[in-house]
Structure 1
Amino acid sequence: MKHALLTATLAAAVLGTIGGTISTASADSIPGMRGHDHTGVTVPDMKQAVDFFTEIVGCKKAMSFGPFADDKGTFMQDLLGVDPKAVIEEITLVRCGHGSNIELFKYTAPDQRNLQARNSDIGGFHIAFYVDDIAAAKAYLDEKGVKTRMGPLPVTEGPAAGQSILYFQAPWGLQLEAISYPNGMAYEKDAETVLWSPKTPDK
Protein backbone atom coordinates (compact mmCIF):
# COMPACT_ATOMS: atom_id res chain seq x y z
CA MET A 1 0.00 0.00 0.00
CA LYS A 2 2.81 2.37 0.93
CA HIS A 3 4.62 1.48 -2.31
CA ALA A 4 1.50 2.21 -4.36
CA LEU A 5 1.01 5.53 -2.58
CA LEU A 6 4.65 6.53 -3.16
CA THR A 7 4.39 5.60 -6.84
CA ALA A 8 1.23 7.66 -7.24
CA THR A 9 2.83 10.61 -5.46
CA LEU A 10 5.91 10.50 -7.72
CA ALA A 11 3.72 10.19 -10.81
CA ALA A 12 1.71 13.21 -9.72
CA ALA A 13 4.90 15.20 -9.18
CA VAL A 14 6.36 14.25 -12.57
CA LEU A 15 3.14 14.65 -14.56
CA GLY A 16 1.87 17.66 -12.63
CA THR A 17 -1.44 15.98 -11.79
CA ILE A 18 -3.71 17.13 -9.01
CA GLY A 19 -7.19 15.71 -8.82
CA GLY A 20 -6.79 14.13 -12.26
CA THR A 21 -5.82 17.39 -14.01
CA ILE A 22 -2.66 17.27 -16.16
CA SER A 23 -0.77 20.53 -16.56
CA THR A 24 0.84 21.03 -19.97
CA ALA A 25 4.30 22.51 -20.38
CA SER A 26 4.42 26.11 -21.48
CA ALA A 27 6.52 27.27 -24.43
CA ASP A 28 9.21 29.15 -22.53
CA SER A 29 12.30 30.85 -23.90
CA ILE A 30 15.65 32.05 -22.63
CA PRO A 31 14.99 35.38 -20.89
CA GLY A 32 15.67 38.26 -23.25
CA MET A 33 16.41 36.02 -26.25
CA ARG A 34 16.47 38.22 -29.38
CA GLY A 35 17.67 35.86 -32.09
CA HIS A 36 20.56 33.97 -33.64
CA ASP A 37 23.76 35.98 -33.14
CA HIS A 38 26.40 33.74 -34.71
CA THR A 39 27.43 30.23 -35.71
CA GLY A 40 30.84 29.00 -34.56
CA VAL A 41 32.94 26.86 -36.89
CA THR A 42 36.34 25.30 -36.15
CA VAL A 43 38.60 25.40 -39.21
CA PRO A 44 41.97 23.80 -40.01
CA ASP A 45 43.54 26.92 -41.55
CA MET A 46 42.37 30.39 -40.51
CA LYS A 47 43.76 32.24 -43.53
CA GLN A 48 42.16 29.76 -45.91
CA ALA A 49 38.82 30.09 -44.13
CA VAL A 50 38.86 33.89 -43.97
CA ASP A 51 39.89 34.11 -47.62
CA PHE A 52 37.07 31.77 -48.63
CA PHE A 53 34.37 33.63 -46.73
CA THR A 54 35.57 37.11 -47.73
CA GLU A 55 36.87 36.57 -51.27
CA ILE A 56 34.44 33.88 -52.49
CA VAL A 57 31.25 34.12 -50.43
CA GLY A 58 31.42 37.90 -49.99
CA CYS A 59 31.43 38.26 -46.20
CA LYS A 60 33.28 41.07 -44.42
CA LYS A 61 35.87 40.49 -41.71
CA ALA A 62 34.91 42.29 -38.50
CA MET A 63 37.55 41.35 -35.92
CA SER A 64 40.15 38.81 -34.81
CA PHE A 65 41.50 38.01 -31.35
CA GLY A 66 43.29 35.32 -29.34
CA PRO A 67 45.12 33.18 -28.38
CA PHE A 68 43.42 31.59 -25.36
CA ALA A 69 44.87 28.77 -23.25
CA ASP A 70 45.35 27.59 -19.68
CA ASP A 71 48.63 25.74 -19.09
CA LYS A 72 47.99 25.03 -15.41
CA GLY A 73 44.26 24.60 -14.86
CA THR A 74 40.99 23.43 -16.39
CA PHE A 75 39.65 26.77 -17.63
CA MET A 76 39.28 25.59 -21.24
CA GLN A 77 37.48 22.44 -20.17
CA ASP A 78 35.22 24.26 -17.72
CA LEU A 79 34.29 27.03 -20.15
CA LEU A 80 34.14 25.20 -23.49
CA GLY A 81 34.01 21.47 -22.77
CA VAL A 82 37.31 20.79 -24.57
CA ASP A 83 40.57 19.17 -23.47
CA PRO A 84 42.16 21.20 -20.64
CA LYS A 85 45.27 21.66 -22.80
CA ALA A 86 43.35 22.85 -25.87
CA VAL A 87 44.49 26.17 -27.31
CA ILE A 88 42.43 28.61 -29.34
CA GLU A 89 45.11 30.14 -31.53
CA GLU A 90 42.78 32.66 -33.15
CA ILE A 91 39.13 33.67 -33.43
CA THR A 92 37.87 35.67 -36.41
CA LEU A 93 34.32 36.89 -36.93
CA VAL A 94 32.84 37.70 -40.32
CA ARG A 95 29.53 39.31 -41.22
CA CYS A 96 27.70 37.98 -44.25
CA GLY A 97 25.16 40.40 -45.70
CA HIS A 98 21.83 40.66 -43.84
CA GLY A 99 22.31 37.64 -41.61
CA SER A 100 23.87 36.39 -38.43
CA ASN A 101 27.63 36.31 -38.06
CA ILE A 102 30.08 33.43 -38.49
CA GLU A 103 32.74 32.88 -35.82
CA LEU A 104 35.81 31.01 -37.07
CA PHE A 105 38.03 29.17 -34.58
CA LYS A 106 41.55 27.82 -35.08
CA TYR A 107 42.19 25.25 -32.32
CA THR A 108 44.97 22.90 -31.38
CA ALA A 109 44.22 20.14 -28.87
CA PRO A 110 45.76 16.82 -27.79
CA ASP A 111 42.57 14.97 -28.72
CA GLN A 112 41.61 16.99 -31.81
CA ARG A 113 39.73 15.08 -34.52
CA ASN A 114 39.10 15.94 -38.16
CA LEU A 115 35.45 14.93 -38.50
CA GLN A 116 34.27 16.59 -41.74
CA ALA A 117 30.72 15.54 -40.92
CA ARG A 118 28.36 14.76 -43.78
CA ASN A 119 24.85 16.18 -43.82
CA SER A 120 23.52 12.76 -42.76
CA ASP A 121 25.77 12.49 -39.68
CA ILE A 122 24.48 13.25 -36.19
CA GLY A 123 25.94 16.65 -35.40
CA GLY A 124 26.37 17.44 -39.08
CA PHE A 125 25.25 20.89 -40.16
CA HIS A 126 25.40 23.37 -42.99
CA ILE A 127 25.32 27.14 -43.36
CA ALA A 128 22.87 28.54 -45.93
CA PHE A 129 23.11 31.88 -47.73
CA TYR A 130 20.13 33.52 -49.39
CA VAL A 131 20.83 34.64 -52.97
CA ASP A 132 18.66 36.63 -55.36
CA ASP A 133 19.59 34.57 -58.45
CA ILE A 134 20.54 30.97 -57.74
CA ALA A 135 21.49 30.20 -61.34
CA ALA A 136 23.93 33.11 -61.26
CA ALA A 137 25.26 31.83 -57.92
CA LYS A 138 25.88 28.40 -59.45
CA ALA A 139 27.74 29.90 -62.43
CA TYR A 140 29.83 32.08 -60.10
CA LEU A 141 30.80 29.18 -57.82
CA ASP A 142 31.74 27.04 -60.83
CA GLU A 143 33.89 29.88 -62.18
CA LYS A 144 35.67 30.14 -58.82
CA GLY A 145 36.36 26.41 -58.75
CA VAL A 146 34.12 25.75 -55.74
CA LYS A 147 32.77 22.21 -55.44
CA THR A 148 28.99 22.20 -55.98
CA ARG A 149 26.47 19.39 -55.87
CA MET A 150 23.40 18.69 -57.99
CA GLY A 151 21.26 21.70 -58.73
CA PRO A 152 20.01 24.30 -58.49
CA LEU A 153 17.04 22.15 -57.49
CA PRO A 154 13.61 23.84 -57.57
CA VAL A 155 11.11 22.67 -54.95
CA THR A 156 7.66 22.51 -56.56
CA GLU A 157 5.51 20.67 -53.99
CA GLY A 158 4.79 20.84 -50.28
CA PRO A 159 5.24 23.69 -47.79
CA ALA A 160 8.72 24.59 -49.12
CA ALA A 161 7.49 24.97 -52.71
CA GLY A 162 8.92 28.13 -54.22
CA GLN A 163 12.49 27.67 -53.04
CA SER A 164 15.48 26.52 -55.06
CA ILE A 165 18.58 25.09 -53.41
CA LEU A 166 22.20 24.36 -54.27
CA TYR A 167 24.66 22.70 -51.91
CA PHE A 168 28.34 23.53 -52.15
CA GLN A 169 31.45 22.92 -50.10
CA ALA A 170 34.33 24.90 -48.61
CA PRO A 171 37.86 23.71 -49.44
CA TRP A 172 38.19 22.03 -46.01
CA GLY A 173 34.84 20.21 -46.29
CA LEU A 174 32.35 22.54 -44.56
CA GLN A 175 28.87 22.02 -46.00
CA LEU A 176 27.19 25.17 -47.38
CA GLU A 177 24.02 25.99 -49.27
CA ALA A 178 22.71 28.68 -51.58
CA ILE A 179 18.94 29.13 -51.33
CA SER A 180 16.49 31.42 -53.11
CA TYR A 181 12.72 31.97 -52.89
CA PRO A 182 12.07 35.32 -54.60
CA ASN A 183 8.28 34.85 -54.47
CA GLY A 184 8.18 33.26 -51.03
CA MET A 185 7.26 29.70 -50.11
CA ALA A 186 3.92 27.92 -50.11
CA TYR A 187 3.67 27.55 -46.32
CA GLU A 188 3.66 31.34 -45.81
CA LYS A 189 0.07 31.69 -47.04
CA ASP A 190 -1.50 30.25 -43.88
CA ALA A 191 1.42 30.30 -41.44
CA GLU A 192 1.14 31.84 -37.98
CA THR A 193 4.94 32.04 -37.85
CA VAL A 194 6.93 32.96 -40.95
CA LEU A 195 10.64 32.19 -41.05
CA TRP A 196 13.06 35.09 -40.87
CA SER A 197 14.71 35.82 -44.21
CA PRO A 198 17.75 37.91 -45.17
CA LYS A 199 15.79 39.33 -48.11
CA THR A 200 13.43 41.06 -45.65
CA PRO A 201 15.65 41.42 -42.56
CA ASP A 202 13.34 43.84 -40.72
CA LYS A 203 10.41 41.40 -40.64
Structure 2
Amino acid sequence: MNRGIDHIGMTVPSIEEATTFLKDAFHAEICYDVQRPEDEPMEGEEAEQQLDLPDGQQIIHMRLLQIKSGPSIELFQVARVNETEPTGISSYGLHHFAIYVDDMQEAAQRFERAGGQLLSKPHPLAGVEDNGDNQGVYGKAPWGSLIELIAYPDGIDYPASSEQERWTPAEHK
Protein backbone atom coordinates (compact mmCIF):
# COMPACT_ATOMS: atom_id res chain seq x y z
CA MET A 1 0.00 0.00 0.00
CA ASN A 2 1.35 3.42 -0.92
CA ARG A 3 1.48 6.00 1.87
CA GLY A 4 2.51 9.06 -0.13
CA ILE A 5 5.56 10.93 -1.37
CA ASP A 6 8.53 10.43 0.95
CA HIS A 7 11.04 12.76 -0.71
CA ILE A 8 11.98 14.53 -3.90
CA GLY A 9 15.52 14.54 -5.24
CA MET A 10 17.43 17.23 -7.07
CA THR A 11 20.99 17.56 -8.27
CA VAL A 12 22.72 20.80 -7.36
CA PRO A 13 26.19 22.18 -8.14
CA SER A 14 27.06 22.53 -4.42
CA ILE A 15 25.17 20.91 -1.56
CA GLU A 16 26.57 23.40 0.94
CA GLU A 17 25.42 26.40 -1.14
CA ALA A 18 22.02 24.78 -1.82
CA THR A 19 21.62 24.01 1.89
CA THR A 20 22.40 27.62 2.82
CA PHE A 21 19.86 28.89 0.27
CA LEU A 22 17.12 26.47 1.40
CA LYS A 23 17.79 27.29 5.08
CA ASP A 24 17.71 31.05 4.42
CA ALA A 25 14.69 30.97 2.11
CA PHE A 26 12.55 28.29 3.78
CA HIS A 27 14.03 27.43 7.19
CA ALA A 28 15.10 24.00 5.92
CA GLU A 29 16.81 21.75 8.43
CA ILE A 30 19.41 19.07 7.78
CA CYS A 31 18.24 15.52 8.50
CA TYR A 32 21.50 13.77 7.63
CA ASP A 33 24.08 13.19 4.93
CA VAL A 34 23.56 9.93 3.05
CA GLN A 35 26.88 10.28 1.23
CA ARG A 36 29.48 12.45 2.94
CA PRO A 37 32.15 14.31 0.95
CA GLU A 38 34.91 12.43 2.79
CA ASP A 39 33.43 9.03 1.80
CA GLU A 40 34.46 7.20 -1.36
CA PRO A 41 32.29 8.53 -4.22
CA MET A 42 29.37 6.43 -5.41
CA GLU A 43 30.45 5.32 -8.87
CA GLY A 44 30.95 2.35 -11.12
CA GLU A 45 28.74 -0.37 -12.52
CA GLU A 46 26.56 -0.87 -9.44
CA ALA A 47 25.81 2.86 -8.94
CA GLU A 48 25.27 3.28 -12.68
CA GLN A 49 22.70 0.47 -12.69
CA GLN A 50 20.92 1.32 -9.43
CA LEU A 51 20.74 5.09 -9.94
CA ASP A 52 20.90 5.46 -13.74
CA LEU A 53 24.17 7.33 -13.20
CA PRO A 54 25.96 8.01 -16.50
CA ASP A 55 29.19 6.10 -17.07
CA GLY A 56 32.15 7.84 -15.48
CA GLN A 57 30.18 10.16 -13.21
CA GLN A 58 30.35 10.11 -9.41
CA ILE A 59 27.96 11.08 -6.64
CA ILE A 60 30.19 12.86 -4.16
CA HIS A 61 27.62 14.17 -1.65
CA MET A 62 23.97 13.44 -0.79
CA ARG A 63 21.95 15.20 1.93
CA LEU A 64 18.36 15.04 3.15
CA LEU A 65 16.67 18.27 4.26
CA GLN A 66 13.27 18.88 5.80
CA ILE A 67 11.08 21.95 5.37
CA LYS A 68 8.38 21.78 8.07
CA SER A 69 5.91 19.01 7.09
CA GLY A 70 5.72 17.15 3.82
CA PRO A 71 8.26 15.27 1.74
CA SER A 72 11.96 15.65 2.44
CA ILE A 73 14.33 17.05 -0.19
CA GLU A 74 17.30 14.88 -1.12
CA LEU A 75 20.15 16.87 -2.63
CA PHE A 76 22.72 15.20 -4.89
CA GLN A 77 26.10 16.62 -5.82
CA VAL A 78 27.60 14.84 -8.82
CA ALA A 79 31.17 15.24 -10.02
CA ARG A 80 31.61 15.84 -13.73
CA VAL A 81 28.00 16.79 -14.42
CA ASN A 82 27.50 17.19 -18.17
CA GLU A 83 24.38 19.35 -17.83
CA THR A 84 24.45 23.08 -18.28
CA GLU A 85 20.81 23.93 -17.52
CA PRO A 86 18.36 22.47 -15.00
CA THR A 87 15.19 20.80 -16.24
CA GLY A 88 12.46 23.35 -16.95
CA ILE A 89 8.71 23.29 -17.46
CA SER A 90 9.14 22.59 -21.18
CA SER A 91 11.27 19.47 -20.47
CA TYR A 92 10.01 15.99 -19.62
CA GLY A 93 10.45 14.93 -16.02
CA LEU A 94 10.26 16.63 -12.66
CA HIS A 95 10.88 20.33 -13.00
CA HIS A 96 9.85 22.10 -9.79
CA PHE A 97 8.51 21.79 -6.28
CA ALA A 98 6.20 24.15 -4.44
CA ILE A 99 6.40 25.49 -0.90
CA TYR A 100 3.11 26.44 0.75
CA VAL A 101 3.55 29.81 2.48
CA ASP A 102 1.34 31.72 4.89
CA ASP A 103 2.66 35.20 4.03
CA MET A 104 3.40 35.48 0.31
CA GLN A 105 5.07 38.88 0.48
CA GLU A 106 7.42 37.85 3.30
CA ALA A 107 8.21 34.52 1.59
CA ALA A 108 8.96 36.27 -1.71
CA GLN A 109 11.28 38.73 0.03
CA ARG A 110 13.10 35.93 1.91
CA PHE A 111 13.49 34.00 -1.36
CA GLU A 112 15.16 36.98 -3.03
CA ARG A 113 17.30 37.88 0.02
CA ALA A 114 18.55 34.27 0.10
CA GLY A 115 19.77 34.61 -3.50
CA GLY A 116 16.78 33.38 -5.50
CA GLN A 117 15.22 35.25 -8.42
CA LEU A 118 11.44 35.58 -8.76
CA LEU A 119 10.15 35.30 -12.32
CA SER A 120 7.32 37.76 -11.64
CA LYS A 121 5.47 39.35 -8.77
CA PRO A 122 3.10 37.10 -6.80
CA HIS A 123 -0.12 36.75 -8.77
CA PRO A 124 -3.57 35.12 -8.49
CA LEU A 125 -3.73 31.39 -9.16
CA ALA A 126 -5.57 30.06 -12.21
CA GLY A 127 -8.62 27.93 -12.90
CA VAL A 128 -10.19 26.14 -9.94
CA GLU A 129 -7.39 27.55 -7.73
CA ASP A 130 -8.30 31.20 -8.53
CA ASN A 131 -10.24 32.09 -5.41
CA GLY A 132 -10.01 35.19 -3.17
CA ASP A 133 -6.50 35.73 -1.84
CA ASN A 134 -5.00 32.57 -3.39
CA GLN A 135 -1.70 33.38 -5.10
CA GLY A 136 1.59 32.01 -6.28
CA VAL A 137 4.89 32.87 -7.92
CA TYR A 138 7.70 30.90 -9.51
CA GLY A 139 11.34 31.65 -8.87
CA LYS A 140 14.73 30.25 -9.67
CA ALA A 141 17.14 29.02 -7.02
CA PRO A 142 20.71 30.30 -7.37
CA TRP A 143 21.60 27.17 -9.39
CA GLY A 144 18.60 27.64 -11.72
CA SER A 145 16.02 25.09 -10.47
CA LEU A 146 12.40 26.24 -10.39
CA ILE A 147 10.71 26.61 -7.00
CA GLU A 148 7.11 27.77 -6.63
CA LEU A 149 5.72 29.70 -3.68
CA ILE A 150 1.99 29.00 -3.30
CA ALA A 151 -0.86 29.92 -0.95
CA TYR A 152 -4.55 29.07 -1.26
CA PRO A 153 -6.07 30.25 2.04
CA ASP A 154 -9.44 30.73 0.35
CA GLY A 155 -9.59 27.14 -0.82
CA ILE A 156 -9.98 25.36 -4.11
CA ASP A 157 -13.22 25.15 -6.08
CA TYR A 158 -13.07 21.39 -6.62
CA PRO A 159 -15.12 20.18 -9.58
CA ALA A 160 -17.72 17.49 -8.98
CA SER A 161 -15.45 15.03 -10.82
CA SER A 162 -12.64 15.34 -8.21
CA GLU A 163 -11.74 12.00 -6.68
CA GLN A 164 -9.65 13.50 -3.87
CA GLU A 165 -8.68 16.85 -2.39
CA ARG A 166 -5.04 17.85 -2.66
CA TRP A 167 -2.77 17.47 0.36
CA THR A 168 -1.95 20.76 2.06
CA PRO A 169 0.63 21.17 4.83
CA ALA A 170 -0.89 21.81 8.24
CA GLU A 171 -0.52 25.30 9.66
CA HIS A 172 2.36 25.63 12.16
CA LYS A 173 1.99 28.03 15.04
TM range (shorter): 0.7 to 0.9
Letter in 1 for 2:52: G
In 1, the alpha carbon distance for the partners of 2:160 and 2:119 equals 30
Provide closer, same or farther for how the CA distance between residues 188 and 180 of structure 1 changes in structure 2, counting only shifts above 3 A.
farther
Number of the residue aligned with 1:123: 93
Q: Report whether the alignment pairs 1:180 with 2:147.
A: no
Q: State the TM-score, normalizing by the size of structure 1.
A: 0.73
1:50 aligns to 2:23 (yes or no): no
State the secondary structure of the residue aligned to 1:179.
strand
| 1:90 aligned partner | 61
Separation (CA, whole Å) in 2 of partners of 1:200 and 1:139: 20
Are the equivalent residues in 2 in contact too, given 1:188–1:194 (CA < 8 A)? no
Q: TM-score, normalization: structure 2?
A: 0.84
- Secondary structure of the residue aligned to 1:186 is coil
Given the alignment of the two structures, is residue 75 of structure 1 paired with residue 46 of structure 2, yes or no? yes
Structure 1 unaligned segments of length 5 or more: list them.
Answer: 1-31
The within-5 A match list for 1:60-71 is 60-66=29-35, 67=39, 68-70=41-43
SS state at 1:121 partner: coil
Question: How far off is 1:61 after superposition?
Answer: 0.5
Secondary structure of the residue aligned to 1:187 is coil
Conservation of the 8 A alpha-carbon contact between 1:76 and 1:85: no
Q: Secondary structure at the match of 1:192?
A: coil
Out of 53, 72, 77, the position equivalent to 1:106 is 77
Q: Which has the larger radius of gyration?
A: 1
Pair 1:193–1:124, CA change in 2 (3 A): closer
Q: Which has the higher contact order (CA 8 A, sep 6+)?
A: 2
8 Å CA contact 2:116–2:141 kept in 1: the answer is yes
What is the root-mean-square deviation of aligned Cα atoms in Å?
A: 2.3
Between the two proteins, what is the percent identity of the paired residues? 27
- What is the number of equivalent residue pairs in this alignment? 166
Q: For 2:24, what is the secondary structure of its paired residue? A: helix
Report SS of the residue matched to 1:159: helix
Cα shift readout 1:20-63 (whole Å, capped 9, x = no counterpart): xxxxxxxxxxxx21100000101111110111111222111110
CA–CA separation in structure 1 for the residues paired with 2:161 and 2:43: 53
Taking the aligned partners of 2:103 and 2:171, their CA distance within structure 1 comes to 16
- Unaligned 5+ runs, structure 2: none
